[in-house]
Amino acid sequence: MIRPGISLLLASVFAWLLVIDASLARDQGAREDIEQKLALTRSYLDSAIAASITESGSGESRHLLDQAREYFEQANDALRDGHLLAAQDKVNLSLQSFTAAGAAKLKQAAASAHRENQNRSIRAEIDSYVESFRNVSAEKGSAAEAMLDDRRLSQLLTEAERSGGAGDHFGAASALREARQLVVDALIRIRNNETLVYTIEFKTPADEFHYEQERYREYASLGRQLIDAGEIEIWRVQKFLQVKSSADHLQEEARELLDDGNHEAAITRIETAVRQLVQGLQVLGINLAM
């Protein structure tokens, strides 16, 4: 006959064994869950997406991928040592970091595509400015042609094409911006030189007025093209538009003075409008001589 105390002890031992069995079952289930997550994470870290991030990802995406790999190794170490909670935590962090790395890569790709489209716009601007420069220099001769550094322009355009072809559209943008500034500076210099020549050749005050008015239209068109390219900070655009509004008002006054036959005052007013517009273009980053 088993004593009551012994029966109680045996019951306690049996219950304890059941708890152990349940705990072991839970641990085994948790381990299998962690192992499955580790296998999934390993497939991600060995994927083409991970290789693409390593090869051409941004600094942010590469950092996140490195972080995912580090968490993955920590999860393996924790699982090997039997630290299931730590292993679960680390494998989850690894998956989160990999997901964030992929998102950063997609964001970079979208920004790069946008930059590529903007670069096409800048290149079209450059071609337009070069055409304008050639038209004027054809009338002025070789001395005027020398105002544009064709060798440097060719180098910059080649650099932009090479960078763009390699997928570095931000590097291409840097070269294109410098090329655009080079051509704009040359166009402004040849126009300023043209002014000096035409000041002597103007046959009537009306001719001089119409020349200044044409300069105004060219500068206004240049401002619109720069703004349409979508690269300039909003505060610069707003400042330019304020200056242009004032200059437009002066131009209207100049037209009225011309219609009234007051040519001298009309010329003075349109020249003031041109100077204001040049100041506005300087706000946009185009360094023009006053």
Using CA atoms, how far apart are residues 53 and 72, in angstroms rounded to an integer? 17
pLDDT value of position 192: 63
Choice between 62 and 211, residue whose per-residue pLDDT is larger? 62
Residue type, position 200, single letter: I
pLDDT value of position 201: 52
DSSP string, 79-144: HHTT-HHHHHHHHHHHHHHHHHHHHHHHHHHHHHHHHHHHHHHHHHHHHHHHHHHHHHHHHH-HHH
pLDDT value of position 197: 42
Using CA atoms, how far apart are residues 120 and 197, in angstroms rounded to an integer? 35
> What percentage of the chain's residues is helix, strand, coil (to nearest 5)?
90, 0, 10
pLDDT value of position 202: 59
Phi, psi dihedrals of residue 124, rounded to the nearest 5°: -65, -40
For the record, the structure tokens of 7 come out as 């029966």
Look up residue 204 and give its DSSP letter: S
Judge whether residue 99 has pLDDT over 80.
yes
Using CA atoms, how far apart are residues 129 and 35, in angstroms rounded to an integer? 63
The predicted model gives 56-80 an average pLDDT of 87
164 Rama sector, left if φ>0, alpha if ψ -120 to 50, beta otherwise: alpha
pLDDT tens digit sequence for 177-194: 888 888 888 877 776 665
pLDDT tens digit sequence for 17-60: 344 444 434 556 678 888 888 888 898 888 888 888 888 777 88
Residue pair 101/144 in contact (Cβ under 8 Å)? The answer is: no
pLDDT value of position 187: 77
Whats the size of the chain, residue-wise?
290
The predicted model gives 120-140 an average pLDDT of 81
pLDDT value of position 21: 41
What's the chain's average pLDDT? 79
Judge whether residue 89 has pLDDT over 60.
yes
pLDDT value of position 290: 52
Place of tokens 């085994």: 28
Spell out the domain ranges in the chain: 4-108, 202-290
pLDDT value of position 289: 55
Burial class (CB in 10 A: 0-12, 13-18, 19+), 1: exposed
With a pLDDT cut of 90, the percent of the chain lying above it is: 9
pTM of the model: 0.46
